[in-house]
Amino acid sequence: MRPAKTMKIELKVNGKRERREVPPSRTLLELVREDLGLTGTKAYCHSGICGACTVLLDGAAVSSCSLLAAQADGAEVTTIEGLAADGALHPIQQAFIDHFGFQCGYCTPGMVLLTKALLDEVPEPTREDIVRYMGGNICRCTGYAGILASVEAAAKALSTKD
């Protein structure tokens, strides 16, 4: 039933080089969660809407459910597991903890990575910037006020850092 053909891809995931043979239909989400066992990346809609599956592809936030693994060939992928450097929490992660940016935490990996992409692109975002950018990901628990506060705090923490 499954196509016999596979493709060879090579990419960097959280700084580690990975060489894999995957069926052409394999999504980046499947590659990350199932082949690499990085289950911090979540999924809900499988259709590019909710953002639970957000990862960074060469620094840009993408929905991994809607990309083929093959499209990440040669790229650098960061998942939530790759954000905390040597066990210390990234300032964005710390901000989400300090400002109650989540409850169940299911949207959190995606939200944190989306924040990273935002702040890399716009280090000092206005509230409107944040609302527009973060509006791409869905959270069902918080009502978003805590997430907004977390992103604002993270922006501040990162800008005072450098």
Partner 1 sequence: MCAAQSRKRDPIVGTSMPTLEAADKVTGATLYVGDLVVPGMAHAKVLRSPLPHARVVSIDAAEARALPGVVCVLTRDEVAAAGIEPVYGFVYRDAPLVALDKVRYQGDIVAVVVADDLATAEAALELIEVDYDELEPVMDVDAALADGAPLVHDTFSPIAPELRPVEGTNVCHRASIAWGDVEAGFREADRIYEDTFSAPPVQHCALDLHACVAAIEDGAITVWTNCQSPFPLQRELQRIFKMDARVIVPYVGGGFGSKSRDRLECVVTAAAQLAGRPVRLVLTQEETFLTFIRPAYRGTIKTGVKDDGTIVARHVRFTVDVGAYAISGARSANNTLKVATGPYRIPNALVECDAVYTNKPPSAPYRGLPTTQHTMAYETQLDRIARDLGIDPVELRMRNLVVDGDVHITGDLLRSTHAKECLEAAAAGIDWGKPSERPDKPAKLRGKGVSCTIKYTLTPPTRLSENGAEIELREDGLFEVRIGTVNIGQGSDTTMAQIAADGLGVGLDRIRVVHSDTALVPVDSSTTASRSTYHMGNAVLDAAAKLTADVLAVASQLLERDAASLALGPDGVEADDGESISYEELVRRSGGPLTALGECVVGGTYTAPDGTEYPIASTFWSFASAAAEVEVDTDTGEVRVLRMGAASNVGKAVNPDSVRTQLEGGVGMELGPTLFEQLVWDEGGQLLTAALMDYPLPTMETSPLYRPEIIEHPLEGGPFGAKGMGEIGSVITPAAVLNAVYDATGVMFHEVPLLPHKVLAALEGRK
Residues in touch with ligand FES (CB under 6 A): 43-46, 48-53, 63, 65, 102-107, 139-142
CA 25, 20, 18: angle at the middle one, nearest 5? 125
| Cα first-last separation, the chain | 54
**Out of 15, 21, 24, 100, the residue judged to bind partner 1 by CB under 8 A:** 100
Q: Angle at which helices 145-161 and 108-121 pack, to 10 degrees?
A: 40
66 binds partner 1 (CB under 8 A): no
- 39 binds partner 1 per the rule CB under 8 A: yes
Strand partners, 8: 21
Determine which helix (DSSP H) or strand (DSSP E) holds 76, and give its type and residue range: strand 76-78
Which position among 81, 129, 152, 157 is part of the footprint of partner 1 (CB under 8 A)? 81
The partner in contact with residue 100, picked from partner 1, ligand FES, none with C-beta cut-offs of 5 to 8 angstroms by kind, is: partner 1
Q: How far is the CB of 157 from ligand FES (least distance, A)?
A: 21
- Binding status of residue 132 toward partner 1 by CB under 8 A: yes
Residue appearing with tokens 């052409």: 24
